[in-house]
Amino acid sequence: MKNLKFVFAEGNDIDTVVDGLKSKLDKEPALTIVFASTNIPDSQEEIVKKISSEIGGEIWGNSTAGEISGTGFHKNSIVALSIQAPKAILSANTEYEPIGDDPIKTGSEVVDRVFRKMEAQMELYFVRSQNTDPLTALRSLPYNILIAMDGLSGKEEEVLTGVASTTLNKIQAAGGSAGDDLKFKATYVYSKHGAFTKAVSVAGIYTTLKIGVGIKIGFKPSDDPSKYGVVTENGNTPRIVRRINNRPAVDVYMEWLGVTSIDDANAKFAEHPFGTIEPSSKIWKVRSPAMILSDGSMLFYSDVPVGTGLTLFSSTPDMHVNAMVEAVKEAIRRANYPEKIGAVLLFDCILRDILSDIYGTKEREIAEIKKIVGEDTPIIGFSTYGETGNTDMIPLWHHNQTITAMVIGEDLA
């Protein structure tokens, strides 16, 4: 399509990335997506400032726990994708909001502000949808959102509740919790306004291009009835589980694993997280432990409130790779099978990244995606501290050890 470009660049400093984007862009892009390590020499503020001054357009992204591109999984680098398109085809607006004392209000207000300021050619959506049935028109709403959140806030569930309350969970969403290369000190989110900690950044996208989101896990639940339980006591937050089946959480976890030391239990987090069924959708979710506390409680990366049913999850290398492949395939299906794919965005949990190292599957994962989308299609992503997304089956959730994929086609919906 004329004047539509998906321009990718990567490097170990912002100058290299900006030069790579500028060499291929004809004009200011509608949106530039950036994922950057906190270990590179440039500060997070400098990254956004450089792109803003030399590339222009809207900016969205965040700091990472690892970067992903078509050349593989990386550390200590920057990956960026600029989308150049006429406003009638794609326009974007990015806003950020500090995560305050009322995270639900934060999520609601930032999305409200994004869409109130968005430029959209709604007459084109009308022309496109006037000869379709209402259900097809509903499924092809021209709005999408990308959500980046502080990865250390512990408030993802509440923020997403606010987002969903404003969007009525009708808009496709993808994104993740920002990382800081496992330092756990400060994570950053980006918008056209700068780089911010303790905040959420949202990119609202209006597009008549085909676009879809897919979400998959690479685990199966235990077939042993003794490895099922219920959370019976939390700590001072739903992310701390004190007791499962009225026993110390770590004792239950060690028993299910068949190990006798806490060190051995710690080493199994990536391979054996917990699984739970979401009551409304009946879909399995991953709940990943982050730490075993001194009193035998377990700290999780997501809320696991009292009454949650849990079992032990397990995986295999094939299941792990297949999850990424199936997420991309689902995104293509939800985009209504674009004839040509312009770009793939991947939001991949840091624990999945660790499991990829354990299984030795990283090269295979990228190769399998390229078989589907083409060797030259830009792929951009990052290792997250939690994943965000919804599909036609999954409401807007904060995920653990999950792969969320977004596919943007080059043909009109």
* pLDDT at res. 135: 65
Closest CA relative to residue 115, chosen from 203, 180, 43 = 203
pLDDT at 52 over 90: yes
> Are 146 and 193 members of one domain?
yes
> Are 269 and 307 members of one domain?
yes
* pLDDT at res. 168: 76
pLDDT at 128 over 70: no
The residue-averaged pLDDT of 61-90 equals 96
> Are 191 and 87 members of one domain?
yes
Which domain, by its residues, includes 191? 5-217+319-412
> Are 364 and 377 members of one domain?
yes
- The CB-based long-range contact list for 193-197 (8 Å cut-off, 24+ gap) reads 193/94, 193/95, 193/96, 194/45, 194/48, 194/49, 194/96, 195/43, 195/44, 195/45, 195/47, 195/48, 195/63, 196/96, 196/98, 197/150
> Are 334 and 271 members of one domain?
no
* pLDDT at res. 278: 84
Q: Render pLDDT for 212-229 as a digit per residue (tens, 0 to 9).
A: 999 999 999 999 999 999
Do residues 148 and 195 touch, judged by C-beta distance below 8 A? Answer: no
> Are 266 and 289 members of one domain?
yes
Q: Which of 314, 331, 356 is the last residue of a domain?
A: 314
User: How many other C-beta atoms lie within 10 A of the C-beta of residue 386?
Assistant: 27
Cα(349)–Cα(289) distance, integer angstroms: 13
Q: Render pLDDT for 84-105 as a digit per residue (tens, 0 to 9).
A: 999 888 999 999 999 999 999 9
**86-to-60, 126, 207, 368 alpha-carbon distances in Å:** 19, 18, 10, 32
**56-to-32, 84, 296 alpha-carbon distances in Å:** 8, 11, 51
* pLDDT at res. 20: 98
pLDDT at 138 over 70: no
**348-to-164, 352, 385 alpha-carbon distances in Å:** 22, 7, 9
φ, ψ at 32 (rounded to 5°): -120, 125
Confidence tier at 318 by pLDDT (50, 70, 90): very high
pLDDT at 2 over 90: no
Q: Which of 263, 295, 314 is the last residue of a domain?
A: 314
* pLDDT at res. 331: 97
Q: Render pLDDT for 251-297 as a digit per residue (tens, 0 to 9).
A: 999 999 999 999 999 999 999 999 999 877 789 999 999 999 999 99
> Are 363 and 394 members of one domain?
yes
Confidence tier at 78 by pLDDT (50, 70, 90): very high
Count of domains for the chain: 2
User: How many other C-beta atoms lie within 10 A of the C-beta of residue 222?
Assistant: 15
> Are 69 and 23 members of one domain?
yes
The residue among 127 and 158 whose pLDDT is bigger is 158
Q: Render pLDDT for 144-189 as a digit per residue (tens, 0 to 9).
A: 999 999 999 999 999 999 999 998 788 999 999 999 999 999 999 9
The residue-averaged pLDDT of 301-318 equals 97
Q: What mean pLDDT, rounded, does the chain reach?
A: 94
> Are 260 and 397 members of one domain?
no
> Helices 350-359 and 317-334 meet at what angle, rounded to 10?
130
Residues 6+ apart with CB under 8 A from 287: 273, 274, 275, 276, 300, 301, 302, 304, 308, 310, 400
> Are 296 and 388 members of one domain?
no
Do residues 384 and 151 touch, judged by C-beta distance below 8 A? Answer: yes
> Are 195 and 267 members of one domain?
no
Least confident of 226-235, 301-310, 348-357, 391-400: 391-400
Q: Render pLDDT for 103-118 as a digit per residue (tens, 0 to 9).
A: 999 999 999 999 998 8
Cα(227)–Cα(225) distance, integer angstroms: 5
Q: Which of 314, 331, 351 is the last residue of a domain?
A: 314
**225-to-229, 246, 290, 311, 408 alpha-carbon distances in Å:** 9, 17, 25, 9, 42
pLDDT at 67 over 80: yes
Residues 6+ apart with CB under 8 A from 267: none
